[in-house]
C-alpha cells in the first residue's frame, strides 16, 4: 500500500519558512493527520528563517473539522476532544512562534481554522472569502481558539451574535472589525502575502516578537503594568544586536541590515 501523502508541505524560501496546507480536495478539512503534520512543520522551522508564511492549496483555506469523521467515530466525545487537544497544540505553536507568522487566507475559513487565523500575526484575506464559525449547525461549542479570536476582534456582543446565529462574515466585514489585517483581490492574494512575509523577515524580528507580546497582553493588563512592560522590553531591544544595528543605521543615514545583526 502506498503511503498517504503529506497533509502539509514545507519549504525554505529565502528568509521564509513556507508552510502550506495541502488537502484541497477536502477543503483542507481538519483531521488528526493534518493537525500532526502542521504541528511538525511548525516545529521543524529552520533556525535561519526569519518568518513563517502560512498558506493553503485549493480554493478554500480550511473548512474546519472533518465532520464525516465525527459521524463515523465510535466515541464522538473522545474523538472530537482528542482532535481539539491536538489542534490546540498547533495554535499554541503559531501563537508563540519565535518569529512572526504571516498568513494568506482564501475562499472559506470555518470552525477551528478561525482560531488558527487569529493566532497569526498578520492575516491577508482574499476579497471573496467567507468566515463562518459553523459550530452551531453541528450543535457544538467552539474550539481551536475561535472564541478568543472572535471576541478579541469583534467584542463579545458581535462575536456572540455571529456564533449563536451561525452567520458568516464577509472578508470586508472581517477587515472592518480587525479580524484580518488586509484585504486584497483574490488574484493578488499569493503575491501580496509573499511580499508582506518577505518584508517582515527583513525587519527586526526579535523586536517584532516583543511587540506582539505587548499588543496581545494589553487588554489584560492595567495601564501601569503595560508601561512597566514597555519599559522593560524597549530596554531589552536597545541592548539587542537588532537595536544596536538600527541605531547605527539611523546615525549613519543608511538602511539597517537586521538580517546580519547578531
pLDDT in tens, the chain (262 residues): 456 788 999 999 999 999 999 999 999 999 999 999 999 999 999 999 999 999 999 999 999 999 888 888 899 999 999 999 999 999 999 999 999 999 999 999 999 999 999 999 999 999 999 999 999 999 999 999 999 999 999 999 999 999 999 999 999 999 999 999 999 999 999 999 999 999 999 999 999 999 999 999 998 999 999 999 999 999 999 999 999 999 999 999 999 999 988 7
- The C-alpha atoms of residue 202 and residue 237 are separated, in whole angstroms, by 17
By the 8 A CB rule, do 146 and 175 touch?
A: no
The pLDDT value recorded for residue 167 is 94
The pLDDT value recorded for residue 5 is 81
Of 114, 188, 109, nearest to 147 by C-alpha is: 114
pTM of the shown model: 0.94
Q: Specify the residue for cell string 545583526.
A: 261
By the 8 A CB rule, do 44 and 80 touch?
A: no
By the 8 A CB rule, do 187 and 197 touch?
A: no
Supply 120's cell numbers: 497569526
Supply 95's cell numbers: 501563537
For the domain bounded by 8-201, which CATH number is listed?
3.90.226.10
Start-to-end C-alpha separation, the chain: 49
The pLDDT value recorded for residue 181 is 97
- The C-alpha atoms of residue 125 and residue 105 are separated, in whole angstroms, by 5
The pLDDT value recorded for residue 73 is 87
**Can you give the residue ranges of every domain in the chain?**
8-201, 205-252
Strands of the sheet containing 169-170, edge to edge, are 108-110, 130-132, 169-170
Amino acid at each position: 500500500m502506498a503511503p498517504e501523502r503529506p497533509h502539509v508541505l514545507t519549504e525554505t524560501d529565502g528568509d521564509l519558512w513556507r508552510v502550506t496546507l495541502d488537502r484541497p480536495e477536502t477543503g483542507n478539512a481538519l483531521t488528526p493527520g493534518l493537525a500532526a503534520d502542521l504541528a511538525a512543520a511548525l516545529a521543524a522551522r529552520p533556525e535561519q528563517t526569519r518568518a513563517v508564511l502560512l498558506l493553503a492549496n485549493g480554493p478554500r483555506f480550511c473548512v474546519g473539522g472533518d465532520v464525516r469523521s465525527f459521524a463515523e467515530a465510535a466515541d464522538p466525545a473522545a474523538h472530537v476532544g482528542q482532535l481539539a487537544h491536538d489542534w490546540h497544540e498547533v495554535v499554541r505553536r503559531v501563537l508563540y512562534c519565535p518569529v512572526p507568522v504571516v498568513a494568506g487566507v482564501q475562499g472559506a475559513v470555518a470552525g477551528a481554522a478561525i482560531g488558527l487565523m487569529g493566532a497569526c500575526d498578520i492575516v491577508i484575506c482574499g476579497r471573496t472569502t467567507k468566515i463562518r464559525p459553523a459550530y452551531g449547525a453541528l450543535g457544538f461549542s467552539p474550539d481551536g481558539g475561535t472564541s478568543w479570536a472572535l471576541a478579541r476582534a469583534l467584542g463579545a456582543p458581535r462575536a456572540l451574535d455571529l456564533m449563536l446565529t451561525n452567520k458568516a462574515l464577509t472578508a470586508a466585514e472581517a477587515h472592518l472589525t480587525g479580524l484580518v489585517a488586509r484585504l486584497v483581490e483574490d488574484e493578488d492574494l499569493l503575491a501580496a502575502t509573499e511580499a508582506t512575509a518577505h518584508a517582515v523577515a527583513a525587519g527586526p524580528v526579535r523586536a517584532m516578537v516583543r511587540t506582539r507580546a505587548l499588543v496581545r497582553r494589553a487588554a489584560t493588563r492595567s495601564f501601569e503594568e503595560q508601561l512597566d512592560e514597555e519599559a522593560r522590553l524597549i530596554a531589552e531591544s536597545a541592548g539587542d544586536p537588532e537595536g544596536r544595528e538600527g541605531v547605527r543605521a539611523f546615525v549613519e543615514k543608511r538602511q539597517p541590515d537586521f538580517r546580519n545583526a547578531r
